[in-house]
Amino acid sequence: MHVTKVNAAAFVLLGASTLTQAAGNQTDFVQPIQDEALGALEKAEPNAVLNRNSTCTLETAGVRRNWDDLDADQRKEYIRAVKCLLSSPSQTDPALNTGARVRYDDFAAQHINQTMSVHYWNWFSHQDDLRKSPVFDGSETSMGSDGLFVPHNGSIGSAGLHIPSGLGGGCIATGPFANLSANLGPVQPQQDGIVGVGTADKLRYNPHCVKRDLSSWLATRIYTEDAFLNATVHDTASDIASFQSEIDSQSAGLPGIHAGGHQTISGSNSDLYSGVVDPAFYLHHTMVDRMYWLWQALHYSQAKTISGTITFGNSPPSRNATLEDIIELPFLGVEPATLGGLLDTLDGPYCYIYE
């Protein structure tokens, strides 16, 4: 049994920390696939429940819901939980010598430290104006607004794609997380004008404000019906390797719906390492998890297959990951688990579905 650190699995854990998704107004092409996925799980349930190492069932599972579908009190409850993490002391071992000062930093430190060895906001609405999304409208029930306007020359996305500057670029302007401060990162930000600490000092204490530059220019190009169907039911995602490829890159030099999500938020999220300091990161990655959940349900016989090596982009070259590899999250103080034990939202430490 090997020990490795795999970010994808780490952020299945992080996504599981909330029973929310994000964004709103479910689009017509999403709901039929959602219904098909739930139907597949219901069909498999009689046999699946016999093989689980838990008492979880479809009937008892928590339900992760669209942010738009939550009422004001539910949204505020989630926001209070995030602020609790922002005000509670760090539990990272001081001997690890990181910049973590609060519990929220522990998650950032974990992600920054493992970026190169691993690694639900409903994206398919409000693409034409992300500022109107209930996630980013700056109201008291949002995850905060766009950043303050700062003149800059945009960001660099996947494969060198230049993303024009939006109407933000600076610190979060309004809402519950206005002027939010982060203690870690940025490491290698891709937004013009933001200076990173570099990989050699990636975990050092570096207080700064969380920045955003929402890009509807990019969102309208990557969050399309084709992109959704290509990652769920079309032959372009017939196995786990092609699913992974599909969500991370598209044709015409565009980023996939995973990588592109970070780049549509930009600012702090333009940094591969420390985009996690933005609370919107978790809603985005919960949507990534939802896409994976849909794919698994619709490809049930392949639901626990994996593909890829244990290093990011296979650099440096490394062996293929296995289901027996151990996922370690030392900055969070949780027990190690096998990769294979973290692949089912209805088994192991999890018990949730999406609606």
H or E element in which residue 44 lies:
helix 30-48
- 3-class secondary structure, 144: coil
> What CATH number corresponds to the domain at position 196?
1.10.1280.10
Amino acid at 158: S
Entry pTM: 0.88
Rounded (to 5) percent helix, strand, coil in the chain:
40, 10, 50
Cα 161 to Cα 164: distance, rounded to the nearest angstrom: 10
Helices (H) and strands (E) in the chain, counts: 9, 11
Q: Where are the beta strands (DSSP E) in the chain?
A: 3-4, 62-64, 147-149, 155-156, 162-163, 169-172, 181-182, 208-209, 326-327, 337-338, 352-354
What is the domain count for the chain? 1
pLDDT reported for residue 93: 83
**What are the CB-based long-range contacts (under 8 Å, 24+) for 29-33?**
29/124, 29/225, 29/228, 29/229, 30/122, 30/124, 30/228, 33/228, 33/229, 33/232, 33/233, 33/294, 33/298
List the alpha helices (DSSP H) in 184-314.
Answer: 216-222, 225-230, 240-248, 259-265, 280-298
Q: Which domain holds residue 110?
A: 3-354
**Tens digits of pLDDT across the chain (355 residues):** 444 433 333 333 334 333 333 334 446 899 999 999 999 999 999 999 999 999 999 999 999 998 988 999 999 999 999 999 999 999 888 888 788 898 889 888 888 776 544 437 889 989 999 999 999 999 999 999 999 999 999 999 876 889 999 999 999 999 999 999 999 999 999 999 999 999 999 999 999 999 999 999 999 999 999 999 999 999 999 999 999 999 998 877 889 999 999 999 999 999 999 999 999 999 999 999 999 999 999 999 999 999 999 988 898 999 999 999 999 888 888 889 999 999 999 999 999 999 8
Cα 334 to Cα 344: distance, rounded to the nearest angstrom: 18
